[in-house]
Structure 1
Amino acid sequence: MKHLTFVAVLGLSACALAAGIHTEAQAECKLASIEQTWIDAAIRGDRATLDQLLDDSFVETMPNGARRTKADVLVAPTLPPGSAQTLGELKVRVFGNVAMVSGVNHYTPAAGMKATSYAFTDLYVRRGDAWLVTSSTTTRGDSA
């Protein structure tokens, strides 16, 4: 009987571990998707989507050291027509209800112009079923 109980506990532990890995992988995919949604919304000037993605406590530190709140982002001018952003080198780390996404944003101000690379680190918090961005820090990298 003890042997059967041990095997049952071992099996349940393996299932719980597998479920945790699956859940973490789902969170990583979701967060990478949110990053893309975020830059798409910035390009389109989609303030409703930005409002949903950014936590009310959101603070962004820009490459020049300036800081913006969620309210600042929501009233900021849209990006110039023809501009583009491409994400690369995404690395997602999940720590329970907190996650960090880092990567490089290659920003092109207009068609035919040279892109500039910006390294970023974004901090997320899970509130219920939603992941919200609470902080973003960006530094200027070399031109792409």
Structure 2
Amino acid sequence: MKRLLFLSVIGLSTCVLAAGLHTEVQVEATLASMEQTWVDAATRGDRATLNQLLDDSFVEAMPNGARRSKADVLFAPTLPPGTTQTLGQLKVRVFGNITMDSGVNHYTPASGMKATDYAFADVYLRRGDSWRIASSRTTREASA
């Protein structure tokens, strides 16, 4: 009887652990997709999508030291035509209802212009059933 109870506990623990890992992998995939959606929306000037992604408490620290709120982002001029942004080295770390996403944004202001790499760290928080971007910090990568 003790052996059966022990095996049941081990089996249940394994299922709980596997479910937790599955959920974490799902969250990581969701947040990676949201990062790309954010970059795409910023490139297109899609303010409706930006409004949905950014938490009302959002604050962004820019490479030049300036800080922007959600309202600042929503009312900022759109990026120049031909601008591209490509995400790389994306890493999502999940801490319950908070995540820390980091990576590099390879930004080209327009076709034929010199690209610049920006390292970023973004904090997401879960509000109910959805995730919102709470903060972002971007720094310019050193030139090679």
For the aligned pair, the TM-score class normalised by the smaller chain equals: over 0.9
Provide Cα deviations, 1:36-68, integer angstroms capped at 9, x if missing partner. 000000011110100000000000000000000
SS at match of 1:142: coil
8 A contact 1:61–1:68 mirrored in 2: yes
The residue aligned with 1:111 is 111
Amino acid at match of 1:110: A
Amino acid at match of 1:43: T
Partners of 2:78 and 2:141 in 1: how far apart? 22
The residue aligned with 2:37 is 37
Partners of 1:120 and 1:80 in 2: how far apart? 21
Provide Cα deviations, 1:73-132, integer angstroms capped at 9, x if missing partner. 000001000010000011110001000000000110000111000000000001122111
8 A contact 1:124–1:132 mirrored in 2: yes
8 A contact 1:43–1:78 mirrored in 2: yes
Partners of 1:78 and 1:112 in 2: how far apart? 19
Partners of 1:59 and 1:102 in 2: how far apart? 16
The residue aligned with 2:2 is 2
SS at match of 1:107: strand
8 A contact 1:114–1:143 mirrored in 2: no
Amino acid at match of 2:114: K
* Structure 2 unaligned blocks of 5 or more: none
SS at match of 1:125: strand
Q: Pairwise CA RMSD of aligned residues?
A: 0.9
SS at match of 2:112: coil
The residue aligned with 2:54 is 54
8 A contact 1:101–1:123 mirrored in 2: yes
* Residues paired across the two proteins, number: 144
8 A contact 1:116–1:142 mirrored in 2: no
SS at match of 2:7: helix
**TM-score calculated relative to the size of structure 1:** 0.97
Q: Which stretches of structure 1, 4 residues or longer, exceed 3 Å deviation after superposition?
A: none
